[in-house]
Structure 1
């Protein structure tokens, strides 16, 4: 058995010689979360993966497979499989933590990096109370499976600003997630995904596209502006899933940042 997770993905054809762009979604959705960003394929060769246990990707079966470093290494295997030398990265929510991990571990394979609101990627060391709460969540998903998933506060069915058709499709994706695989991701990846202590290792040109309406992320946004003045920050009038809330503005921000560097 491979110690790396496997990813289902779709990739635009390479025949137009466009710079490649990897898109990595967050928890409880799948690669369809990027459907509103299809216009990026006019400027980039877009590769959309499903996270382990999501969409068509198999669930992790060992703790090692579910850890951020292994997920980043699995994404690196996708790059090699596609014969791509270097690519742009864009991560959404939990996926942002994974692309940040990749950018730190494989900087020579990165052109630029874009990420969205992701408090977990920058969280300070957990308090005992927070750790106990998280352990209770993992135990609940293990014990009650889809019933527990349906009650998670970031289940897509609760996304008030999503187009109803998009919300329904992503809610169906959440309902199809492998509960044991999700529990393993929560158990193994979430406690290890903060890169706050490794900010000095983030040498890839990076941009945050910030959803201003997610109030709890704004202190992290302001800290990043101070701690990493070279990081570009674009603020948009949307929430946590800013690529879904404001697709046209998100697409313009991403293309505007990546294109001068890649020549797209």
Structure 2
């Protein structure tokens, strides 16, 4: 069954989203080089949350999944993914809603809140404090993965990221432009995050720094540790359980 929906962003680019369930809206943003299907649907996370009475709305971010991946750099201004999120919220006419994401989705959620988007609750998965304030280091790694796409060998530090890019059929030109649109969030800017926030991270996931440090920085955060690494934690039923438990509290 094809349950993919489409809307047009402010720059005319066609973007996709998928949904599960009915009830209170929850927007969930996937990680870099992933998509809504892999991050939220495939391993049951979306259905677990929907079972609690939520309308789970999951966009494919620009350059990912069924969404467009334009090659013109003009389509990638700073924080373009926040613009896209605002456009989806407006397209769906959402007023009261919750927001969350994993990895890049968590970064984008934070950038959105700092920029004035006002979810009632926030979920930050696979994210630590350094992943918000020190993007350039991670950005350089992914730029190198794109550059080494055809030359990396098993055992190289970029090997696994490249294999994931190949599996997901990532458009490298568009991905390079998108990486350049990401911006840092200094710790002092996190003062804007005053709503109840779930910080959920794999016990072996340090890819984006320390999740406990991030939780300690936020005004009203709950930290939950689940099994897994950065790559494997999204496959764990514990991810959906943690989010469902947070939303029910």
Q: What TM-score results when the alignment is normalised by the length of structure 1? A: 0.74
CA RMSD of aligned residues (A): 3.2
Q: In structure 2, do the counterparts of structure 1 residues 103 and 213 end up closer, same or farther at CA, with 3 Å as the change threshold?
A: same
Residue of 228, 235, 239 corresponding to 1:238: 228
Query: Which segments of 5 or more consecutive residues in structure 2 lack a partner in the other structure?
Result: 1-8
Q: Which protein has the bigger strand share?
A: 2
Could you say what secondary structure the match of 1:45 adopts?
strand
Instruction: Tell me, in whole angstroms, the C-alpha distance in 1 between the residues paired with 2:28 and 2:152.
Output: 24
CA displacement 1:1-40 (0-9 Å, x = unmatched): 9448652111246xx4x11111111112111121221222
Residue of 198, 217, 220 corresponding to 2:210: 220
Task: Find the residue that maps to 2:110 and give its secondary structure.
Answer: helix
Counterpart residue number, 1:258: 247
C-alpha distance in 1 between matches for 2:232 and 2:222: 16
Distance 1:157 1:140 in 2: 10
Does residue 120 of structure 2 align to residue 111 of structure 1?
Answer: yes
| Residue 21 in structure 1 maps to residue 23 in structure 2 | no
Question: Which stretches in structure 1 are left out of the alignment for 5+ residues?
Answer: 159-169
TM-score, normalised to structure 2's length?
A: 0.78
The reply to whether residue 155 of structure 1 matches residue 161 of structure 2 is yes
Q: Which has the higher helix share?
A: 1
1:81 counterpart residue number: 91
1:200 matched to 2:206? no
Establish whether residue 9 from structure 1 lines up as the match of residue 17 from structure 2: yes
Paired residues, what number? 232
- Structure-2 separation of matches of 1:215 and 1:138: 19
Offset of residue 102 of structure 1: 1.4
Larger relative contact order, structure 1 or 2 (CA cutoff 8 Å, min sep 6): 1
